[in-house]
Structure formats: C-alpha cells, structure tokens
Amino acid sequence: MELEQLARTINLIIVVMGWAAGIVMLLLFIMFLQDIFQKEHSVRRNFPVIGRLRYFMEDIGVFFRQYFFANDREEQPFNRLTRSWVYKTAKGMGGIIGFGSTNDMREPGTPIFVNSPYPQLEEDCAPSPCLAIGGYVGDQAFEAKRIVNISAMSYGALSSVAIQALVRGAGASGSWINTGEGGLSPHHLEQDCDRIFQIGTAKYGVRDEQGKLDDQRLKDIAQHVNAFEIKLAQGAKPGKGGILPAVKVTEEIAQIRGIPAFISSRSPNRHIDITSPDDLLDMVARVRDVTGRPVGFKTVIADGTYPERLSEAILRRGPDSAPDFMTIDGGDGGTGAAPQVLADHVGLPLSEALPIAVDVLIEAGLRDRIRVIASGRLVTSARAAWALCMGADFINTARGFMFALGCIQSLQCNKDTCPTGITTHNRRLQKGLAPRDKGRRVATYSLGINHELDLLAHSCGLTHAREFRREHVRIVQSAGRSIPLDQLYPYPHAGS
Ligand SMILES: Cc1cc2nc3c(=O)[nH]c(=O)nc-3n(C[C@H](O)[C@H](O)[C@H](O)COP(=O)(O)O)c2cc1C
C-alpha cells in the first residue's frame, strides 16, 4: 500500500515537472517570437531570448555595480554614462535626472558653463538659425540647418541598413550626412536630406580608371550633394589611407568604389596630387569650379605650422582661393579600422587642435570666410557646446550617431561581426537593425542634442547657441579650480 502511494507521488511529481518544463518552454518560445518580431532592440532581434540578459543586467546593474566597479565613468572610449546619455536622448527620454548629478565638477578638463543671473525667458529664446557654408565664388551656398551633424562614415565601414537609418534620421532632423570616403551609395539617396560628399585619398566614386579625379563623375555626384569635403586625414589614422577588410568588400561596394570584390581595399596614405597647401587650394578650386558646390577639407592637427602655411597661401593667392570650410578631427577620433599605434599616439586631441586652428584663422582675418567643423568625441551637448565656445561653427559626430543606432561599443567594427548590425555585412546580423525605427532614434538624438545646445546657451543669457564665445565656459584645471576659456586661450588680434 505504502509502495503504491510512493509510486503515485513520484508519478505526480513527474507530471508536475513535465508541465512546468512545458510552460517554461512555451514562455521561452513566446519570448523568442517577441524578440524576433520587435524592432526596437537590435541585440534582442539578433540574439533572441539570450539577448534579454543584456537589458536585465543593465537594469539590475544600477543596484549592484557599486559593489564590483569603482564608478559609471570608467570604460573607454565612451563611459557608461556618456553612452546612456546618448541612448536616452535618442529615445526621447533624456534630459531630466533625479536626486542630483554624479558628474564631479572638480575633475580636470570638465567644462563649466557660465550661467547668467538673468537667463533668457522662454518667450525670448530662439533655436539656432541656419548658417551658410560657401557661396562666395559662384558656388551655390549650402544653408546648413543644424549645428550637430553626422560625421563621415563610409558605406562599407557601415552596413546598408545603418546608412538607410542615418539618412532617414538626417532627413527628419535637418542634420547633414557626410558620405565618408567610400562614395555615394544608392542607400544614401533613399531619403531626401542634406549630404556632404567626401573625396578620400583613393577618390572612390569620383575617379577615372587610373585613379585620378574625374570631372564628369564630380558633376554627376554634385546633383545629389550640397558640398564636397577633401579628406587629408582622419584622427584615428593620420597619414594612413582607408582600410576596408576583404570580408567587407561585397560585390555592391566594389561596384560603387570601382575596385575588385572580396580583396581588401587600401587607399593611398595621401592624395597623390596634394603635397603642399597650394596643391590643396588647386584641388579646392577645381572641385568648386566643376561642381558649383562649396568645398572644404578635413584634417588632423599636430602643431600650428600646417594651418599657418595654409593661411599664408590663401592670403598670397587671394580670399577667393579659400576653402569654404575646414573640418578639424581630434587625434582620438573613431574609425572602422585603423592601426592601433596611429589611433593611440598620433595627432592632437580636439581640445588642443581646435584652439590652434581657430586662432590661425582669426589672426589671418579668415575666420568669417572659412567655416570650422569640429569632430572628436563630441557626442554630448556639453562637449559640443565647449567646441562652439572655442570657435567651431558646426559639430560632426560619428560615434554619437552610432550609439543612436544602437551601438553597444563592442569594438568589432573591423571584424564584420558587429552584434548590432551597424558595421557588418553579415545579413543575419543586419536583420537586427530596422532602418525605419532606428532612423527615428537618429532624428530624435539629432534634435535632442541640438536643442540642448540652445538650452545651455539660454542658461548663459544668450538667445541661441551660435552666440557662444570663449568667456561662456570655464575649464577645470588640475588643482580643481576652473579658469575661463578666454584666459586659457585669449582671443588673438584679427589680421595680426
Ligand atoms: C565606423 C567609422 C567609420 C569612419 N569612416 C570615416 C571615413 O570614411 N572618413 C573620415 O574622414 N572619417 C571616418 N570616420 C571618422 C569620423 O568621421 C570622425 O571624424 C571621428 O570618429 C571622430 O568623431 P566621433 O568621436 O564623434 O566618432 C569613421 C569613424 C567610424 C567610427
């Protein structure tokens, strides 16, 4: 009798466990379906069910992190707080915090904006106005709508779905998108938006069979873009041409660039036809004449001699020879693929490079003629506002917009294994990135960061962010004391 009862109990336990396992399996299956059909989270789409652990860990991490890690401001190149600032801004959930800031305002390098005792009333505030680039020598001026824009990242380094999402976001927010050195792809044209075409050292997309600049191709591209940028250098790899690993040179990319498929693509370390400031100005003039569009260049600065020699050449040849803009990239900028030693040790970070470039232009009396675009870790409104105070007209960010696309900083851009589908041509991983939804995030991030620039300006008593000057920010020094930026970098005399 007792044995019978024991057997019945064991049977019952087995049945209950079977049901429990069945219910668990069913729940997991429902989660799996939810994950593959939702479009908000790339990691969950690419790694159904298991990918949820990331979001779970993030949520509970707030409570447990303090026991394992020193603080949220660790991790490079972008710490957790910076990344989550962008994520929240891109979701339209940014801006407001409770309890108080975790930002240590005594940390050297921290910008502290100089609030006015009489800030602007809401009704007197205005969003920053458009600013024209070029239009001085018969070219069609580019009326740029936003201060913060999408920095150069080529189709090749980025996936097609990432480009599609970026152009959607650019179209919806008014920011421009820079094509990067990989040429203009059909994905760039899927949405009406402002575009800057970058001419890299291999001249992809605008070269003839010998690799030289092709006027007809320039004219064709000009139909679709607002301006051209000649790339001399990029912060992550000054003196090194672009590298696109073989696995990323798909048939389509090879066709757009005019190169063989599935063989790694390396562009020259410099433009073969630019070895002096005069050569650069010759190319600026040629591209502007042929296309009727404003033309600028992108570079990295290591000391003041290069901008000085360039401004001397401009003054010698006359102001009509001037480029319409210069993009100054910080030595700590991002990349799809670059030699580590160049990324780690070559080129000044933007905090040193930008003052050099701006001061040379002021001294030469060229500051109003040449627009300055700054890039290099300017992914938050505070860092971008610092660059405006320093003298930049526009901000470009690449990795800020990558975070808006859902990048989790897994540092795999050169491997074709990006888990969020942003820098991979693996179709399975690309499925995680839904261009329509991520395009909305790109637009929300763009509008959010541009809006916060004006918010900071209003607090400083200004009408909008284009009025920022050096006296509106102080920089914390090593002793924990802050110094006004105009004392650290006094304005030089114009035309001196
Ligand atoms: C994936 C990736 C691809 C890039 N491709 C280019 C490029 O084609 N041309 C270029 O001038 N810079 C390129 N860059 C550099 C960025 O345009 C930018 O100058 C640099 O990352 C600094 O901005 P950030 O700190 O906001 O990312 C690339 C950066 C990344 C992350």
Among protein residues, the one whose CA lies closest to atom 28 of ligand 1 = 335
Most ligand 1 atoms within 8 A of CB, residue of 83, 153, 270, 342 to mutate = 153
Computed from CA positions of residues 333, 338, 340, 341, in that sequence, does the dihedral angle turn out positive or negative?
A: negative
CA of 157 to the centre of ligand 1 (A): 10
pLDDT at 95: 77
CB atoms closer than 10 angstroms to residue 172: 17
pLDDT at 52: 87
pLDDT at 303: 86
The two beta strands, 394-397 and 371-375, are: parallel
- State both tokens at 315: 């003054």
CB of 238 shorter than 6 A to ligand 1: no
Q: How far apart are CA 436 and CA 269, in angstroms?
A: 37
CA of 196 to the centre of ligand 1 (A): 14
CA of 443 to the centre of ligand 1 (A): 19
CB of 235 shorter than 6 A to ligand 1: yes
CB of 231 shorter than 6 A to ligand 1: yes
CA of 335 to the centre of ligand 1 (A): 5
CB of 377 shorter than 6 A to ligand 1: yes
Torsion-angle region of 337 (φ positive above 0: left; ψ -120 to 50: alpha; else: beta): beta
CB of 153 shorter than 6 A to ligand 1: yes
- State both tokens at 297: 């260049």
Question: Residue ranges of the chain with pLDDT lower than 70?
Answer: 1, 61-74, 495-496
pLDDT at 73: 59
- Cβ neighbours of residue 237 closer than 8 Å, sequence gap 6 or more: 243, 335, 338, 339, 342, 343, 346
Is the previous residue joined to 77 through a cis bond, with omega within 30 degrees of 0?
A: yes
- State both tokens at 322: 């001037």
- Cβ neighbours of residue 19 closer than 8 Å, sequence gap 6 or more: none
CA of 59 to the centre of ligand 1 (A): 31
pLDDT at 66: 55
pLDDT at 482: 96
CA of 396 to the centre of ligand 1 (A): 9
This prediction has a pTM of 0.90
